Structure 1
Amino acid sequence: MKPIPETSPRRPLSGVRVLDLTSVIMGPVCTQILADYGAEVVKVEPPEGDVMRHAGAKTRPQMGAMFLHANEGKQSLVLDLKTEEGVATLRRMLPAFDVFIHNVRPQAMQRLGLGEAAVRALHPGVVYVELTGYAESGPYAGRAAFDDIIQAQTGLADLFARQSGGAPAYVPTLIADRVTGLTAAHATLAALYRRRETGEGECIRVSMFETMAAFVLADHLGGASFEPPAGSMGYSRLLTPHRRPYRTLDGYISVVVYNDKHWRSFFQATDALAVFEADARFQTAAARADSYDQIYGYLSDVLATRSSDYWLALLDAADIPCCPVNRVEDLLQDPQLRAVGFFDESSASDGHQLRRIAPRYRAPTAQPVTAAPSPQVGQHTDDLLTASF
């Protein structure tokens, strides 16, 4: 195989090869992280390509924005795994790779002869990574899972209703896919570390439902952490209706008045120190923890009396965390992101300027890592199939 050339210092996973049968978002997030760390990732696609190629804005067919931001630094190999020839080619390639990862239903992988046992028989040292909607030992095993479904099943959508008093709602980002992809990436890194120490491969199974249930309940298990229960579930600071961007006279700002110093500074800055000293609910972390509705309600009332610019200047001078409420469009000109080189802008082959999110891994040196752009369907097929396996 011809590895993608690196234009920056050697990265932690340089030399590691990943055979990637994932699609959509969850799996590609995981494998793009591995690619950012220097792994050579070969993305196996059906002849029609990953379905996510059609999602989001695009200037070329099958190169939509959603795909572009989850598949950089990878090579694309077209194989039709519905044919015996395609499966045979994949099996022949397997021993050349360190990691084999998929988000195909386990039953389908068994039918293809690509389940864990079959793959490990071909390559005992491989790290086999299986991403699913649900763990295989429960009654939901084998069901299709989507981000919206998982947000609803894990209580995340209902938390919006409890906090706002309105209807259940979804986080308007693919949080379940991306959190699960991140989880799978660090599980894969741990398995690779273990293999380096022991020489042994292993099987990693990461499921969306269980991963997001853990993500949500770490904040909201609350009183049910104990038996018998020590109170209700849910973290009151996150569920108070006053935990939201605060309305000012002319807009909204975000403010976090959190610790003892912040609260005293807030009352001093607003010439209301007498209120602070007369009301014990503001004075200690323990008292505030029992009174989030009241103390954040007070903030809400006070902040509504002046303009956003007034409050941002006053609070910043008092060293209280605050910021404007940005639109996603504002991030394109954000001074922090621009200063750190967050966006990589280059000309695409169709003449358009392509704005890419810089790789997550940055070497200790000042030299940034430059990843190859996301591949076109089958872009590397010829090179890969003429390689010696």
Structure 2
Amino acid sequence: MNSTGPLQGIRILDLTAVVMGPYATQTLGDLGADVIKVEPPGGDNLRAVGPMRHPGMGAMAMHLNRNKRSIVLDLKQPEGREACLKLAASCDALIYNTRPQAMARLGLGYDAVAAVSPKIVYLGAFGYGEQGPYAGRPAYDDLIQGAAGVASLFAQQSGGEPRYAPVTLADRAVGLQAAIALLAAVLHAQRTGKGQAVEVPMFEALSQFVMGDHLGGHSFEPPLGPTGYARLLAPHRKPYATSDGHLSVLIYNDKHWQAFFDLIGRPELRSSPMFGTHTARAANIGAVYAFVAEAMATRTSDEWFAALAAADIPVARLHSTESLLDDPHLRAVDFYPELDHPTEGRIRTLAPVGRYSATPTAIRRPTPRIGEQSVELLREAGYGDEAIARMLERGVTLQPAPHKDDNE
């Protein structure tokens, strides 16, 4: 199948599973890379998370593994390791998200992979950097959200209990960092002919994400104040309650505030000590947001939306995940394309992000079944039919049973 996208010609061996790594590699696949997903005989664990029409094709996995080809390899068997190395020899990059020690036990550490492909980028996205005392600890999204301070920020803002963000924040934020790092290292390898090992640790990456906002007074030595960005931690920094619902509103610069004071009939506040300048508002942000919350409760959502939009004050409707399906803007940009999956029937997916005038992205391949391209990829690696048959017989690899419509 012909590739499209700016990464056409880049080949990536994907030894990742669950969310972080597959999100990174799907992003690269959407951009045109040829992504080869290596799965154990049981498949990526996330394939078992429903809802699903058929085993191994859960909804989450469907949104993390399109634009990839799947090969099953039992890496604990010598033939599986050998096949993995043969595939690596033809790839620009290998990415994994297990602990480095596990890769070494499989005989797939950097030295082993670099021996078959000195130009390869060998990227590990895992919990903690190998130079620190947490090296080798297990890491999942929830653990890293807690370790990097995300959960405690919810408690600090609301006065309630620590909470995890109800999205895989660490996995997806660090997954994007991993995709960027992989591309940077591949570009270097193409310029110099030299590959390298790269690590993208979740704890450090998400801590940078958090502390970029919240290092605060500790940005200076000695500190000029506590950590934390007061605007983000203000209790009323949340969708404002109107008389019949909620709206997302950000009254930010002087122009916005002056227009807001006119809307509520309080023009004298333009020159007040608390509201007159950006610095003054920032110093009193808790009280400022509480003032806005009180005003917002006096009108309906529709009344406020019309008035704020007319005054050029930033405002947005508050969506739920259900109502987001029907957002008119997302519908207009074809954010939810529908397609016919070869085995799963009619499905709705999410469009690749961004538009490229010369190298358009595309959904070239639907999410594959476990091992759907095993035989195809082994042939590309140089295996003959007899060798492939032996590997299938010994469970080194597998291919799915033909779907009832495959030959129709």
Q: 1:324 to 1:74 in 2, by over 3 A?
A: same
Structure 2: 5+ residue stretches without partners: 383-408
Q: Map of 1:294-305 to 2, 5 A cutoff?
A: 294-305=287-298
8 Å CA contact retained: 1:135, 1:206: yes
Please give the alpha-carbon distance, in whole angstroms, between the structure 2 residues aligned to 1:203 and 1:12: 24
Please give the alpha-carbon distance, in whole angstroms, between the structure 2 residues aligned to 1:383 and 1:334: 41
Aligned to 2:351: 358
Matched, 1:239 2:236: no
Matched, 1:108 2:102: yes
- Of 182, 188, 195, which residue of structure 2 is paired with 1:201? 195
3-state DSSP of counterpart to 1:96: coil
Aligned to 1:5: 2
Amino acid at match of 1:377: I
8 Å CA contact retained: 2:66, 2:365: yes
8 Å CA contact retained: 1:17, 1:39: yes
Please give the alpha-carbon distance, in whole angstroms, between the structure 2 residues aligned to 1:272 and 1:154: 42
Please give the alpha-carbon distance, in whole angstroms, between the structure 1 residues aligned to 2:16 and 2:344: 30
Matched, 1:373 2:366: yes
Cα deviation for residue 371 of structure 1 reads 2.7
3-state DSSP of counterpart to 1:61: coil
Pairs aligned (count): 382
3-state DSSP of counterpart to 2:6: coil
Q: 1:237 to 1:368 in 2, by over 3 A?
A: same
Amino acid at match of 2:193: G
Amino acid at match of 1:291: N
Amino acid at match of 1:142: G
Please give the alpha-carbon distance, in whole angstroms, between the structure 1 residues aligned to 2:315 and 2:53: 38
Aligned to 1:85: 79
Aligned to 1:36: 30
Please give the alpha-carbon distance, in whole angstroms, between the structure 2 residues aligned to 1:350 and 1:16: 28
Cα deviation for residue 93 of structure 1 reads 2.2
Amino acid at match of 2:178: A
Cα deviation for residue 365 of structure 1 reads 5.5
Q: Map of 1:58-137 to 2, 5 A cutoff?
A: 58-137=52-131
Please give the alpha-carbon distance, in whole angstroms, between the structure 2 residues aligned to 1:122 and 1:350: 36
Matched, 1:254 2:248: yes
3-state DSSP of counterpart to 2:252: coil
Please give the alpha-carbon distance, in whole angstroms, between the structure 2 residues aligned to 1:298 and 1:94: 60
Q: 1:62 to 1:133 in 2, by over 3 A?
A: same
Aligned to 2:299: 306
Provide Cα deviations, 1:298-323, integer angstroms capped at 9, x if missing partner: 00111111111111111111110112
- The CA RMSD over aligned residues, in Å, is 1.4
Amino acid at match of 1:290: A
- When normalised by structure 1's length, the TM-score is 0.95
Aligned to 2:318: 325
Matched, 1:17 2:11: yes
Please give the alpha-carbon distance, in whole angstroms, between the structure 1 residues aligned to 2:70 and 2:345: 22
Q: 1:366 to 1:98 in 2, by over 3 A?
A: closer
Please give the alpha-carbon distance, in whole angstroms, between the structure 1 residues aligned to 2:2 and 2:124: 28
Aligned to 1:285: 278
8 Å CA contact retained: 2:30, 2:361: no
Q: 1:214 to 1:57 in 2, by over 3 A?
A: same
3-state DSSP of counterpart to 2:167: coil
Q: 1:323 to 1:131 in 2, by over 3 A?
A: same
Structure 1: 5+ residue stretches without partners: none
Aligned to 2:392: none
Please give the alpha-carbon distance, in whole angstroms, between the structure 2 residues aligned to 1:56 and 1:358: 21
Amino acid at match of 1:159: L
Q: Give 4+ residue runs of structure 1 displaced > 4 Å after superposition.
A: 365-368
**How much identity, in percent, do the aligned residues show?**
48
Provide Cα deviations, 1:280-337, integer angstroms capped at 9, x if missing partner: 2212111111010111110011111111111111111111011221111112111111
8 Å CA contact retained: 2:66, 2:363: no
- When normalised by structure 2's length, the TM-score is 0.91
8 Å CA contact retained: 1:73, 1:374: yes
Larger mean CA deviation between 82-91 and 376-385 belongs to 82-91
Cα deviation for residue 90 of structure 1 reads 1.1
Larger mean CA deviation between 206-215 and 56-65 belongs to 56-65
Larger mean CA deviation between 102-111 and 169-178 belongs to 102-111
